[in-house]
Amino acid sequence: MRAADVLIAAAFLQEPTDRRRPTRLGASALRRMPAADLADVLDVPLSPAVHSAAAALHRPGGARRVLAALRTADADRIPLRRALRDVSVPVTLVAGADDPLTNPVPRPVPTVPGAGHYPQLTHPDTVARILDEQGSPTTT
């Protein structure tokens, strides 16, 4: 198996925004949030992936770690862009057509028609097809 990275809806390649609403919620609220409510907050359909995400938030420390990562994401934009530029393994980027990347990248970026910031949740089959076409690993 060859080493490769896949980045889906890479927020550090987009303009900062407040649309990622989970940061407005506390860890205790996220820890207890049912999957259906999480889907509503993220504005995505309820799916097995959302159930999995909710289960991860319910684990000890899961919600706290997610919120910490979201809160520090803006500070990490420049170092992450540098890391992407300098990475030595192939990288496949995928973005939702309704949530495009706004910073230049040195490669074409396939987009998922009709998808916003969470194409892996709203259009998993299309994301899988794109990754297959790009020769990227879809499982680890």
Q: Tell me: the pLDDT tens digits for 44-59? A: 889 888 899 999 999 9
Cβ–Cβ under 8 Å, residues 35 and 50: yes
Taking the CA atoms of 27, 64, 14 and 75 in sequence, report the sign of the dihedral they define.
Answer: positive
Mapping DSSP to helix (H, G, I), strand (E, B) and coil, where does residue 9 land?
coil
Q: Which of 98, 135, 124, 127 is nearest to 5 (CA)?
A: 135
Cβ–Cβ under 8 Å, residues 120 and 8: yes
Please state the domain count of the chain.
1
Whether 139 is covered by a domain: the verdict is: no
* Residue appearing with tokens 């940061």: 23
DSSP state of 14: S
Per-residue pLDDT tens for 58-105?
A: 999 999 888 888 777 777 888 999 999 898 888 899 999 998 888 888
pTM over 0.75: no
Residues spanned by the domain of 105: 5-134
C-alpha 34: how far from its chain's center?
20
Across the strands, what pairs with 12? none
Whether 21 is covered by a domain: the verdict is: yes
Whether 140 is covered by a domain: the verdict is: no
Mean pLDDT of 1-5: 71
Per-residue pLDDT tens for 111-121?
A: 999 998 889 98
Residue 21 has pLDDT above 60, yes or no: no
Q: What is the pLDDT of residue 18?
A: 58
